Amino acid sequence: MRPPRANRRAKGTQQKQKKLNIHQKPKTMSFTSSYYHVIFRTHRSEQTIPIEHERELYAYIYGIARNLRCKTLRIGGMPDHVHLFVSLPPTLSIASFVQRVKTDSCKWLKATPNFPRFQGWAREYAGISKSSSEKDTIVNYIMRQKEHHKRFSFAEEYRALLEENGIAIDERYFLRND
């Protein structure tokens, strides 16, 4: 005598699941490490991030990164630019991360009374990959932005960072303001 139709279906499903290992725990795991030093500037490098309110902006950016499941190691900058040091999850590209940070923070900055002169972010950004062994160096570099910019302009700093990391600069587009 044949088992009832429902039992035959259940048995067939169980056999398929065994073949596909659907309910078994994975035997391997992926390991990733992707650290980025991200730099972007205000539109036309205008000084629109007041120092007395910069921490509000950094907290907001931190929240955006956290919602994207990123680990933020440091945020800092100057009235005309921002530095981020972040670790991205394997499912998020650097371009998508920067787009979300710039888009969401721009909306917030324009709606917040503490940033009345903010017009937007410049189009370009730098996303420089770093190794975990460079963490302390990058964190310290970002922490010392105020001190650093007593000697160097943003343009000088940006050019040096790009060149040090082997990024070719096309002068037609370097710090372009459109």
Question: 15 lies in a domain?
Answer: no
Q: How many domains does the chain fold into?
A: 1
Domain presence at residue 7: no
The reported pTM is 0.81
Does 169 fall in a domain?
A: no
63-85 confidence digits (pLDDT tens): 999 999 999 999 999 999 999 99
Residues 118, 42 contacting (CB under 8 angstroms): yes
- Mean predicted confidence (pLDDT) in 23-46: 83
Any domain includes 14: no
Dump pLDDT digits (tens) for 134-167. 999 999 999 999 999 999 999 999 999 999 999 9
- Domain span at residue 107 reads 35-164
Domain membership flag for residue 88 = yes
CA nearest neighbour of 128 among 85, 75, 68: 85
The torsion angles phi and psi of 167, rounded to 5 degrees, stand at -95, 120
Residue 121 maps to which CATH number? 3.30.70.1290
Task: Give the Cα separation of 105 and 121 in Å (integer).
Answer: 9
- Give a yes or no: residue 53 inside a domain: yes
Within a domain: 25: no
10 Å CB burial of residue 88 (0-12, 13-18, 19+) is buried
In a domain, 94, yes or no: yes
